């Protein structure tokens, strides 16, 4: 649990904020030097997401999505804007959201809101989103804050909406990364936090074709 590895909560958040302020506002910066995996990532995410957007009585809508930990809008641009009428973005680093406005190009006109805020302090507007996408950012929240944030996400969903987490998974336990002030949890810990938030797991998938030297990456859909 993060309580075992995070000694000072305030410091944990402020160090992460400081780290991201110095990261270049580029795709490579967003992916920690692994910009070349972006297309593999996006293509897998699209395939995963589309199974919920297909026709059927419980089909997830395509009106509005929220990109959490959005950075310069890599996921907004390539995954969410092609599938949803409008998108909102939230990120703690103001420079990234500023850069997003040029990076997204013409299609960026369909981004309604740019929220500059840490997820521990962010509340999605209730009953507003068909999909809330949370990628490579849960490690910047303590267990309690992550569970609380997921509860607020649940309240932010429209009927048949889903919350999606895509993130690194540790082999065992919780591992602290002092460089960017984040944690990496194992599958068991993440499952417990999802349950604690009152969410029900609909699908889980391990990302394929990523470099061997990085953590395993899993995608979860829940509501």
pLDDT averages per 10-residue partition of the chain, 223 residues: 88 97 97 96 98 90 98 98 98 98 97 98 98 98 98 98 98 96 98 98 97 96 97
Strands (E), 136-194: 157-169, 174-177, 182-185
Q: In the prediction, which pLDDT does 189 show?
A: 98
The reported pTM is 0.97
Residue ranges and CATH numbers for the domains of the chain are 2-222 (3.40.50.150)
Q: Pick out the residues of the known binding site for S-adenosyl-L-methionine.
A: 69, 74, 91-93, 119-120, 135
End-to-end CA distance of the chain: 23
Q: What is the dihedral of CA 44, 99, 82, 215, to 10 degrees?
A: 10
Output Rg (C-alpha) for the chain, integer angstroms.
Answer: 16
DSSP lists the bridge partners of residue 89 as: 67, 114
Q: In the prediction, which pLDDT does 55 show?
A: 76
Q: Pick out the residues of the known binding site.
A: 69, 74, 91-93, 119-120, 135
């Amino acid at each position: 649990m993060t309580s075992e590895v995070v000694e000072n909560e305030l410091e944990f958040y402020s160090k992460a904020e400081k780290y991201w302020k110095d990261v270049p506002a580029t795709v490579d910066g967003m992916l920690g030097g692994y910009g070349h995996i972006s297309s593999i990532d996006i293509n897998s995410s699209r395939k995963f997401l589309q199974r919920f957007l297909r026709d059927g009585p419980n089909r997830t809508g395509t009106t509005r999505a929220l990109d959490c930990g959005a950075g310069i809008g890599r996921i907004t641009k390539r995954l969410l804007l092609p599938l949803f009428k409008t998108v909102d973005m939230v990120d703690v680093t103001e420079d990234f959201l500023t850069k997003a406005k040029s990076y997204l190009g013409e299609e960026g006109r369909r981004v309604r809101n740019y929220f500059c805020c840490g997820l521990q302090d962010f509340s999605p507007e209730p009953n507003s989103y068909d999909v809330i996408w949370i990628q490579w950012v849960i490690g910047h929240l303590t267990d309690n804050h992550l569970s609380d944030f997921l509860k607020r996400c649940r309240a932010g969903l429209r009927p048949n909406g889903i919350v999606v987490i895509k993130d690194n998974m540790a082999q065992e336990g919780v591992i602290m990364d002092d460089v960017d002030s984040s944690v990496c949890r194992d599958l068991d810990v993440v499952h417990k936090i999802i349950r604690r938030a009152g969410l029900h797991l609909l699908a889980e998938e391990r990302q394929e074709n990523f470099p061997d030297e990085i953590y395993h990456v899993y995608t979860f859909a829940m509501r």
